[in-house]
Amino acid sequence: MGFSSVAAARKFRRTARIFFCAAGALGWLVAAFAQSASSEKPATDSSAPQTQATSAGKTVPSPGAPVSAANNADIPQSKISSEQGEELFRSVDEILKFASRDTALPIKSTVKRQLVDRDGVTAFVQKHLAEDDDAQRLRRSELVLKKFGLLPRDFNLQNFLIVLLREQVAGYYDPQTKTVNLLDWIDPEQQKPVLAHELTHALQDQAFGLERYLKAGGDLGGRTGEPTVADIENDEASAAHQAVVEGQAMVVLLDYELAPTGQTVVNSPQIVDALKAWMVTGTADSVEFRNAPLYIREALTFPYRYGLDFEAELLTKAGKDKAYSEVFRKGPRTTREIMQPDTYLAGEVIPPLPLPNLQHDFAAYDKFDVGAVGEFDVAILVDQYAGVEVSKRLYPHWRGGFYYAARPKGDPTAPLGLLYVSRWSDAERAAEFASVYARGLEQRYRHVHDTSPDAGTAQPADYAVQTLNGEHSWLTEEGPIFMDVRGDMVLVTESLDQTTTEQIERELLSSRPSAVK
């Protein structure tokens, strides 16, 4: 979204970008897979228990639990030898050459390298999360995610990230210092596939400027001016660019591991499918990841899973230059293009959504956060409230969305107010999404009382999804919720006063048909 950097949010996923860029997240997962990919071992046992686990007789902290000395004591502190460290350093240049051949991205300079320990990784992540801009962004992301019901109200996102990274990271490239950071507690052979991944980031950085590309959407949530259509579109672009960066690196990682067998991502698509299965379930010892909320698991793996698919599709249909260089010169702008590469290859352009006069309409409120709600975001919303099959059926019909979060002036303790607008391919799909969203209210609030007038329809669809049209309202412990479904648009307000809601409704929906016939 636009929900995009942990991923949650410059909004929803904004937090994710801190996570990915800061520490090469999921290196632990791709490294584990890489060890087995070339030897054709089975992906993973999806039936493995996903309840709380223990390690060496000690309790593993639950997702979002505070970081403590006890947590750290559970982690083995063995170190690689100086000879192994030297071997690892020597391999950097060799693997960099492989990545350059595989991507056709030139080597413009040597890549600095250093060994870091677990404390160094933790300090690096904590530093980035503690910086004023990132810390504020993380807090906004967390609260908006909770408002949408995508995080439990008691979940601590920052603590979750720190614990996960300390336990699981397997190497990372820092674009600020132009340094690849290698880990002093992991065997060199296990780190080499991760090196192929991270050194691809170094090549991307040398050729195009990695931080500039990843920040293509800017920091919408931190701007003081009113958002524009372009701002919200750019918000989705940052998530799409992140998927390009990680998808390219995933291809190189797999090609590096498969090279001795003569296989590649292009000629061995079954390898891609197996890796995606690993990403969904996690490895047996990735307890923090496996027990995380659905949105967090999906957001963390989105740029890797869907980015890998996107890049494989471009390599197969358009060739290496399109897959590696052209996507930096003219990259995808939405998560829809990443999830459905044919829309990118076809040059699909989705018309921008109309915006209300936010400065006027929210005169009684202080802006808290704003951003796009992309196809990926609605896919997770529908998955969480109606299941994966309904999600797969519905999310390709997304055609735009944004949210605006605010608090009443002078009352920082008031519930967060929310405006959410989404557009769909047709009126029927809009009505289906509205029904799913309404059903999710029971999971998000303790008390939900339907106060709707006798308007609209509710009819079973042929695949067990109901439709919801017209105006509907509910009363919750955080105030009123209003929904208006007209034509291909769905408008929702939560915890906003009636005057504000009615003004927004008139601006955005007055010219649209009232219901599906």
**Which is it for the CA torsion 373, 374, 380, 385, positive or negative?**
positive
- What is the structure's pLDDT at 6? 35
Question: For residues 484 and 100, what is the distance between their CA atoms, to the nearest angstrom?
Answer: 52
pLDDT in tens, 272-283: 887 777 776 665
Domain residue spans in the chain? 6-46+79-345, 358-509
Q: Which residues contact 418 (CB under 8 A, 6 or more apart)?
A: 144, 147, 148, 403, 404, 405, 492, 493, 494, 495, 496
pLDDT in tens, 220-236: 444 445 556 666 777 78
- What is the structure's pLDDT at 131? 64
**Amino acid occupying residue 456:** G
Q: Cα angle vertex 297, ends 5, 26, to 5°?
A: 75
If we measure between CA atoms, which residue out of 271, 336, 328 comes closest to residue 302? 336
- What is the structure's pLDDT at 25? 41
**Which is it for the CA torsion 284, 287, 288, 292, positive or negative?**
positive
- What is the structure's pLDDT at 235? 79
Question: For residues 50 and 47, what is the distance between their CA atoms, to the nearest angstrom?
Answer: 8
- The two three-digit tokens of residue 53, written as one number: 């686990």
By the 8 A CB rule, do 18 and 7 touch?
no
Residue 373, CA distances (Å) to 9, 107, 395 in order? 9, 37, 12
Q: What is the DSSP letter of 350?
A: P
First to last CA, the chain: 31
pLDDT in tens, 232-271: 777 789 889 999 999 999 999 999 999 999 999 999 888 8
- What is the structure's pLDDT at 69? 31
Give the CATH architecture of domain 358-509: 3-Layer(aba) Sandwich (3.40)
Question: For residues 3 and 182, what is the distance between their CA atoms, to the nearest angstrom?
Answer: 31
If we measure between CA atoms, which residue out of 492, 440, 441, 430 comes closest to residue 467? 430
- What is the structure's pLDDT at 166? 65
Q: What is the DSSP letter of 266?
A: T
What residue has token string 């030897």?
A: 39
Per-residue pLDDT of the chain (517 residues; tens, 9 = 90+): 434 333 333 333 444 433 443 334 444 445 455 555 444 433 333 333 233 222 222 333 333 433 333 344 344 567 899 999 999 999 999 999 999 999 999 999 999 999 998 888 778 777 766 765 656 767 788 899 999 999 999 999 888 877 776 666 677 899 989 999 998 888 888 889 989 999 999 999 999 999 889 876 544 444 445 556 666 777 789 889 999 999 999 999 999 999 999 999 999 888 888 777 777 666 556 778 888 899 988 988 899 999 999 999 999 999 999 999 999 999 999 999 999 999 999 999 999 898 999 989 999 999 998 889 999 999 999 999 999 999 999 999 999 999 999 999 999 999 999 999 999 999 999 999 999 999 999 999 999 999 987 544 444 434 345 899 999 999 999 999 999 999 999 999 999 999 999 999 999 987 666 544 4
Residue 23 DSSP SS3: helix
Number of neighbouring beta carbons within 10 Å of residue 440 = 18
Please give the model's pTM, rounded to 2 decimal places: 0.84
By the 8 A CB rule, do 276 and 118 touch?
no
**CA-based diameter of the chain, in Å?**
76
- What is the structure's pLDDT at 218? 47
